[in-house]
Homo-oligomer: A and B are copies of this chain.
Amino acid sequence: MIEGIHPEHPRAESLLIRKKLADGFKDGIVTPEGLCAHGRGEAFDYILGEETTDQALAAIEAAAAALLNADRPILSVNGNTAALVPSEIVELADEVGAGIEVNLFHESTERERKIVKHLEKYGAEDILGVDENYLTEIPGIRSDRRMVDERGISAADVVFVPLEDGDRTKALNKLKKNVVTVDLNPISRTARAADITVVDNIVRALPKIVERSKELSQASPRRMNEILETFDNRSNLSLTLKTMLSRLRKLSRE
């Protein structure tokens, strides 16, 4: 029994993830705003039935293919991502040959350093986004997230930005980068602006993206192109929303 969370509590799993984030908060990795943002995701996850949908599986496959196919893929990590899936981020970076860049909405050098240390504990090396000498500004962003590493996000062709804010997704999109995201809200600005949106809990999605990347690393270029050409983010999001609507209707009858 973890600090007042009884294992039989109907929301035990979601409370445990919340606990993980609260711990990340205590360690100085997660911001209060990040906790709130997580809660928003929880609500959508609750509507989704806390399961990876078929639409999410299709997006996961496309995400893996896009990252493997990239010339310069980069994984952008914020506090929540670092707290929830540090080992999976490191595994994914290895698997698809991507760099890892720390990029925060609420900037703080101290927090950045803590996130870097946290990721290094899980085996990450050469983390980008922290050396001021390499930081450069991308246009169209008001938050601190406009500063990116010229060796990382700035130079990348495919950018993986889980738990992202809408402003930056749009800005990255305008820079003609291929944007892959994980977002539990299928109608958020991020979900719509990205090229590939995995509508799933990052805790469930990341291990699946790693797994799929391992499988697809052996796939033929033809198979990869097929996956990327048949994936349509707009119709995938629309199907996801339909799933959510019918779940809501079902929940309301329970």
| A interface residues, Cβ below 8 angstroms from B | 3-4, 6, 9-10, 15, 18-19, 21-22, 25-26, 31-33, 35-44, 46, 105-106, 142-144, 166-167, 185-187, 189, 237-238, 241, 244-245, 248-249, 251-252, 254
Neighbouring B residues of A44 by C-beta, 8 Å: 43
A18-B33, A35-B35, A105-B4 given; A189·B10 CB < 8 A: yes
How long is the Cα–Cα vector from A97 to B186 in the complex, in angstroms? 45
B22 with A106: CB separation less than 8 A: no
How long is the Cα–Cα vector from A7 to B238 in the complex, in angstroms? 30
B245 with A9: CB separation less than 8 A: no
Neighbouring B residues of A252 by C-beta, 8 Å: 186-187, 237-238, 241
Neighbouring B residues of A40 by C-beta, 8 Å: 39-40, 42-43, 46
Output the least CB separation between A251 and chain B (Å).
Answer: 5
A10 with B166: CB separation less than 8 A: yes
How long is the Cα–Cα vector from A238 to B33 in the complex, in angstroms? 32
A187 with B6: CB separation less than 8 A: no
How long is the Cα–Cα vector from A193 to B41 in the complex, in angstroms? 24
Q: Whose C-beta in chain B lies nearest to the C-beta of A185?
A: B43
- The residue among A4, A189, A238 with the most chain B CB atoms within 10 A of its own CB is A4
Output the least CB separation between A14 and chain B (Å).
Answer: 9
A244 with B238: CB separation less than 8 A: no
A187 with B251: CB separation less than 8 A: yes
Neighbouring B residues of A142 by C-beta, 8 Å: 6, 9
Neighbouring B residues of A10 by C-beta, 8 Å: 166, 189
Which 9 residue pairs across A and B have the least CB separation, nearest first?
A: A39-B39, A43-B43, A22-B32, A35-B35, A36-B39, A40-B43, A39-B40, A6-B142, A241-B252
Q: Whose C-beta in chain B lies nearest to the C-beta of A15?
A: B33
B18 with A25: CB separation less than 8 A: no
Choose among B9, B39, B144, B237 the residue that contacts A38 (Cβ–Cβ < 8 A).
B39
